[in-house]
Amino acid sequence: MTLTNHPFDSLNTNGRSFREHPKVVLTIGGADPTGGAGIQADLKTFQHFGVHGLSIVTAVTVQNTSGVISTNSVSAELVHAQLAALANDIKIEAIKIGMLTTADVVRVVAEFIAAQNVPTVLDPIIASSNGVRFLDEDAIEILKEQLLPLSTIVTPNLPEAEVLTGLTIVTDDSIIHASLRLHDMGAKAMLIKGGHSEGEESRDLFYDGLGIEWISAPRSIRQAHGTGCLLSSAIASCLAKQLPLRHSVLAAKEFITSMLDRAMPLGSGQEIFQYPPLALN
């Protein structure tokens, strides 16, 4: 029996020995029992990019492919204890932040990010796609004031960018205005995702404080679960490997485009991404 490597091996290993110490990336977010989003999807993406994934659970969700039914927040004290245990033991080289819940949890995470001082990707998940709210109003304000300025890049979709900026976003000019507002709020860089817009092309706006760049990809008609999680965790993986920010964003976008053709319906709702398997011959 032989093992055939999948097409992404060159990206995963970058020509290095398998036994070389891997880069370590931490995901902080909610648990998704479908495996399509949340920390489960993050860990699969980390493995795909050849980095070792750590995970901190902020909430346990009740959901299936049709949507989120309920969420159960982990206490700020327990989130703090999880973070302290890892920080005292393992060197963390990049962080991805997903689902947060209460203001106290956001404060704990912000304090941790400030102490770590490593590349950090903030995916500001405010509500589920079927409308279940994750962050309360107080938590959103703390996220804007304390966590947003600490992040290397923030990756909101259009509804999330509207909540963060207070702007109505319907045109290209309003997306640009939102990026400038986020920068004024302390965001170093952002990728405002255009998946909720219309048109044949899905256009994301990347702004790093120096220049604005539109990144386009063919719009998929597939309703895939967890695209934002995969994108942000892919960016974090590349940053851990010390790729420049723009290159990390472009590599993550290329990865998402390739994965859209691999989404499959496992239930009655959204499709779930299937990672390239290791072929057994």
Q: Which CATH class is domain 23-262?
A: alpha beta
CA angle 161, 110, 48 (to 5 degrees): 75
pLDDT classification of 196: cutoffs 50, 70, 90? low
Tell me what the mean pLDDT of segment 194-200 comes to. 65
What local confidence, expressed as pLDDT, does residue 14 receive? Answer: 54
In the chain, the DSSP E strands lie at 3-4, 24-31, 52-64, 67-73, 94-97, 120-122, 153-154, 190-192, 201-207, 212-218, 224-225, 263-264, 271-273, 279-280
pTM metric for this prediction: 0.90
Distance of alpha carbon 7 from alpha carbon 236, whole angstroms: 20
CA angle (127 as vertex; 121, 129 as ends), nearest 5: 105
Question: Percent of the chain at pLDDT above 90?
Answer: 75
Among 64-68, 210-214, 221-225, the range scoring the smallest mean pLDDT is 221-225
Helix-then-strand count for the chain, H and E? 9, 14
